Structure 1
Amino acid sequence: MKTNDEIVDTLIELKNEQHLTLSELARRVNMAKSALSRYFNKTREFPLNNVDAFAKALHTTPEYILGFKENEIGSLTDSDRRILRINKMLSSDRQEKVYNYANDQLDEQNNGKVTSMFNHKPLVDIPYGRSTAAGSPINGEDQDTQLIHKLIAGEKVPAGADELVTVDGDSMEPLLQKGSQVFIHYQPEVENGEIAIVHVRDVGVTCKKFYVNSDNTVTLKSINEAYDDMVFDCDEVNVIGKVIL
């Protein structure tokens, strides 16, 4: 079976071959254009429960989209068939959890990692999908619409982690690279010098080193020296959480 990116690439190729616009394809599969755009941009996992609708709209088969060759369909094992049958019965959010877990297992297998049944930690359901700016603040309300959930192997989740966010900016480099993902712990206060995710009133959400000053102001500092300090009144800044390093 193809990976999520390969499935999306196949759909885009079929759409282009048939000279369909994104709007027309969205209409055919009864989906909002904005949602389809997120799948095609690979910012969201493609919902496998919709593969039949896409196959019909693009005049192909679900097997072709998913990457099963014709001579492979008849040779599927009973286990393969059970997995496919159950997966089609799941809601899209549960299908995504199954897909993410399978990807994690494949990564471990390909990297030669062996996890003993005696020290394997349970899967952890972690919210992810939102970004936090390491540079200019971004709108936190818009980011809320991006929040989804992902099952992550317990060994990969640090103690106290509440969410996995993407660093959108370079002001915290070289410690936090642009595009990297970090775990955060929700808490309303942090110590001076700790890296926090904060919301600044009328400005947005950002990731910075946090300092409370004696004059009732807050200084948000970047690690990248190309960025100036940001100073706000204390009542303008709310701490969302602490970055777990």
Structure 2
Amino acid sequence: MKQSPFRIALDRSKKTQADVVRLLGVNRQNVSRWYKGTVRFPREYADQVAQFLGTTADFLVFDRPLVGSFDPDEDLVQDPIDDAVADDAARRAARRKLRPGEVVERDVRGGLGPGGHATVVAVDGEIIDGVSSTWTLPQSYLHTELRAKEADVDIIPVDGDSMIPTLLPGDRVMIHRSSRAPSPDGVFAISDGIGISIKRIQLVRGSDPLQVRIISDNPLHTPDVIAASDLNVIGRVICKVTRM
């Protein structure tokens, strides 16, 4: 039996029904009915709960995919997948055997601040980030417009406020792992040894040895300047999905 959108979002967030009861101040039986799918999730609570669970109001109320309006002629994203399917997707991604237009969303939250952390799986003895879901994009868009191949990109959710207004909590970004050189300047996923952060990277022209400026688009956060040799770039951000 198909699970309710509320149940899918709640389980993925690792929060509980009791957390939602406290958030909304509603009867626990109502939350239980939403979870079981015997009652449709009410629109009046959708925005608040969607933000709390890291999903969208349309998904909770209408069971619409995160980016269902991106191209009405295509199925772009599927429901969250179970562990066995996720592990299979991780293995196919590592072996470069993804289906046409298929892109994996990694089980990692790109911290727009302290950094993100991922669950990991072993594929042929190599430890890689786990997969939380798979997306199906029009192959022509992926290859022609984004100039990327399925196995060279990952999608991750973002969190924090340091890249506001460019990126908001709950947005998804696509990272091109084969595009790591910080020239030209742009937005990149970087690792500081603790987690993943999404930042704007700018070369410090004329510096010797070469330095880079790590910039948060939110003016409340100050930039950092480090040696380019200390910069660990995961990939360039080539696409974002945000809720209007």
TM-score, normalised with respect to structure 1? 0.49
Structure with higher Rg: it is 1
TM-score, normalised with respect to structure 2? 0.50
